[in-house]
Amino acid sequence: MTAVSSMQRPWLAAYDGDMKPHVEEVPYRLLGDMIVQSAREAPRKTAYTCVMPNGMHGSLSYGEADRLSDRFAAYLHGELKLPPGSRVAIQAPNGLAYPVVAFGVFKAGCVLVNVNPLYLAEEAGAVFADGGISVLVVIDMFADRTAKALATVKVPHVVLINAAEFFPSLPRALIGLVQKHVRKEIPAATFPHIRLAQALALGQAKLARGLKIADITASMDSSATACLQYTGGTTGVSKGAMLTHRNLIMNVLQVLAFGGSAFKRDDVIMTALPLYHIFAFTVNFLTFTACGAHVVMVPSPRPLSNLRKAFEKYPVSYITGVNTLYNGLMNEAWFATLPKPHLRICIAGGTALQAAVAERWHKIVGVPVGEGYGLTETSPVVCFNPFGSGHNGAVGVPLPDTDVKCVDDDFNEVPLGTPGELAVRGPQVMAGYWRRPDETAKVMRGDWILTGDIAVMDEAGYFRIVDRRKDMILVSGFNVFPNEVEDVLAKMPGIKEVAVIGVPDGAAGEAPKAFVVRSDAALTVEAVRAYAKQHLTGYKVPKFVEFRDDLPKSNVGKILRKDLRS
């Protein structure tokens, strides 16, 4: 077999209908232009809705989000005098404050730093220190953690928000009352701060005195950094990927060009994944803002019953999720019986979609799950399956204007069907890691980025992820990919969830170990191994099986193999 140059782009044959192989027009210079344009086209249309587990909700129209983000930009630039490029962190679950703050940051020429709201003080403090944060926007529910972080890291300005920001006055008051006095969820803020409403009022005063938002970024171009998105990346060290305005704008336009008429202005996108994660940030937030659709947000998908009221109240046509979200929803009785007449597109990413989950979802819901692939460093989307095509074991074909190839350790392209490390080139590839040229050099090869993922490409240009390079198990010289073993075991009756890692095993070097969450309490270790032996070569069969009540997961639902290893 011979290697196929990625420049031949065999995947273009998969583009049909109104799918476009190139982004033909770039209507935005900076990310702030997105909300301005959508507000100009449909100012009264509902843009963002936040739904609480009890059904209380609030919404912002495109016009309201545009005006409020102008005020926040004016606060940053006019009141605080922040120069362009200043870093502004937001640490909050999904809510209506998010689009106001994010677009305000972009309009002010500042850099948005998304911070996981569940980070402990030490973790958050590390991001604040590395990013050189000038302003922290944080939800008041975590004021105690914030105080601990600020005791060791100086952040000049702190803006507090609440869970029901921009809700109508009555539900906002009720939610605040319950959180503060019944559930005791709002600790005292012992550090200097102002509330978001105060910041917006100060910004409005600057606008009233003649500050022009468009003037703030008049001299900026799309090569300016828009986000520092912190990630363990391909080398395991936490660092900020510098995503430029162009990176993120182009990734949005690539997704829209790839999807074609699958995107409609009357779409409703269910956003259970957190917006601070790059998947939901780009796909749910930016992409659906650009096409003027309705973004429905849930502050937290745990427990999954938190999603029920949002599904009941709104005609959800799109949903994004990870494997565990789709698997979990199918185990919810309310979801299985809930009519879903508007649901058209289901998108999976973030981690491997197991065939058993995809098949069961299609059978129960009646809509296939389409799998894609990306990483923080690529803004994030690299590949996707044509919309509506369902699960085929592949993560799809590259997006418009994207080249992908599988390479060996010397960066030589490997033959078709041979596993190699995935390398990506395109306008969505990051500018580098913030203040870490050494880490940048480890992953960049000219304008290509090495992803750390092992994949194979077929003759049609579809890519299949074999596994993370660092997760590969070496058994007596043979490579075992955990994804393959997990995919087999996930189909076994009696298994609800499974994760596989490598553990030390004497002369063999390593052996596969499976961690299993049972749906059938009678399931035995012997039965699991016997099932694996029926479907896998001997060296791939888990030598060890451990039953658990649950598996460690990230906040977006990824099973954390590193926690199992430790």
Rounded Cα–Cα distance for residues 110 and 394 (Å): 38
Each residue's pLDDT tens digit, 356-410: 999 999 999 999 999 999 999 999 999 999 988 878 889 999 999 999 999 999 9
Strand ordering across the sheet containing 133-139: 194-195, 157-161, 133-139, 87-91, 111-114, 225-231, 239-244, 432-433
Neighbours of 119 (CB within 10 A): 18
In this structure, what are the phi and psi dihedrals at residue 266, rounded to the nearest 5 degrees? -90, 10
Tokens of 397: 């074909």
What are the structural domains of the chain?
1-21+245-471 (3.40.50.12780), 30-220 (3.40.50.980), 474-565 (3.30.300.30)
pLDDT of residue 4: 46
SS3 of residue 346 by DSSP? strand
Query: In sequence order, what are the residues at sequence separation of 6 or more whose Cβ sits closer than 8 angstroms to the Cβ of residue 46?
Result: 59, 60, 61, 294
pLDDT of residue 137: 98
Nearest to 549 by CA among 528, 529, 519, 523: 519
Tokens of 366: 């009646």
pLDDT of residue 232: 64
The region, left, alpha or beta by phi > 0 then psi within -120 to 50, assigned to residue 435 is left
Rounded Cα–Cα distance for residues 149 and 67 (Å): 32
- In a 13 Å sphere around the CA of 432, the CA atoms on its Cβ side amount to 13
Considering only the C-alpha atoms of the chain, give the largest distance between any 2 of them, rounded to a whole number of Å: 76
pLDDT of residue 471: 85
The region, left, alpha or beta by phi > 0 then psi within -120 to 50, assigned to residue 196 is alpha
DSSP one-letter string for 466-493: EEEGGG-EEETTEEE-HHHHHHHHTTST
pLDDT of residue 390: 79
Tokens of 395: 């993560």
Rounded Cα–Cα distance for residues 500 and 498 (Å): 7
Nearest to 207 by CA among 66, 31, 78, 36: 78
Which single residue is written with the structure tokens 């679950």? 93
Tokens of 11: 């995947």
Neighbours of 538 (CB within 10 A): 9
pLDDT of residue 234: 53
pLDDT in tens, the chain (566 residues): 344 444 689 999 999 989 999 999 999 999 999 999 999 999 999 999 999 999 999 999 999 999 999 999 999 999 999 999 999 999 999 999 999 999 999 999 999 999 989 888 988 999 999 999 999 999 999 999 999 999 999 999 999 999 999 999 999 999 999 988 898 889 999 999 999 999 999 999 999 999 999 999 999 999 999 999 998 655 555 799 999 999 999 999 999 999 999 999 999 999 999 999 999 999 999 999 999 999 999 999 989 999 999 999 999 999 999 888 999 999 999 998 999 999 999 999 988 898 999 999 999 999 999 999 999 999 999 999 998 887 888 999 999 999 999 999 999 999 999 999 999 999 999 999 999 999 999 999 999 999 999 999 999 999 999 877 778 788 876 778 788 899 899 999 999 999 999 999 876 778 999 999 999 999 999 999 999 999 988 889 999 999 999 999 987 888 998 899 88
What does the radius of gyration of the chain's CA atoms come to, in whole angstroms? 24
For strand 294-297 and strand 381-384, is the pairing parallel, antiparallel, or unpaired? unpaired
pLDDT of residue 233: 57
DSSP letter assigned to residue 261: G
The pTM of this model reads 0.87
pLDDT of residue 6: 44
DSSP lists the bridge partners of residue 425 as 403
Strands (E), 375-443: 381-384, 397-398, 403-407, 420-425, 432-433
Rounded Cα–Cα distance for residues 110 and 227 (Å): 9
Residue type, 351: T
Rounded Cα–Cα distance for residues 551 and 566 (Å): 13
